[in-house]
Amino acid sequence: MTADDSFDRLNDDDYPAYTMGRAAEMLGTTQSFLRAIGEARLITPLRSEGGHRRYSRYQLRIAARARELVDQGTPIEAACRIIILEDQLEEAQRINAEYRRTAESSGPSAAG
């Protein structure tokens, strides 16, 4: 592995660079909170060779959103479901926008 490879990994939002303890510290939460959102299947941390949970920056952003909802009084299971639904909605909107762009670039509709 070269130094460039290591640097690229640090810039990769999906690279599992953070231990559970470090992730909890960065989020200002507990390790049990991270385990709970894992059990709710909001995020699935990768495991090191030794079996320890490792989190990516992307997963930490999702966990931060869950913590925000829980801090506002939302039960953890509901917070996880809300985030999953928000993600699904965002993906559906992205697909719809892509379809619109494709339709517009194909020219005027024959149904007009």
Strands (E), the chain: 18-19, 46-47, 53-55
- Predicted pLDDT of residue 6: 57
39: confidence class by pLDDT, cuts 50, 70, 90 = very high
Tell me the residue length of the chain: 112
16: confidence class by pLDDT, cuts 50, 70, 90 = confident
| Average pLDDT score over the chain | 89
Compute CA 54 distance to the chain's CA centroid, rounded to the nearest angstrom: 14
Compute CA 52 distance to the chain's CA centroid, rounded to the nearest angstrom: 19
- Give the pLDDT confidence of 54-99 residue by residue, as tens digits: 999 999 999 999 999 999 999 999 999 999 999 999 999 999 999 9
11: confidence class by pLDDT, cuts 50, 70, 90 = confident
Q: Is 15 left (phi over 0), alpha (psi -120 to 50) or beta?
A: beta
Q: Which of 8, 4, 32, 7 is nearest to 20 (CA)?
A: 32
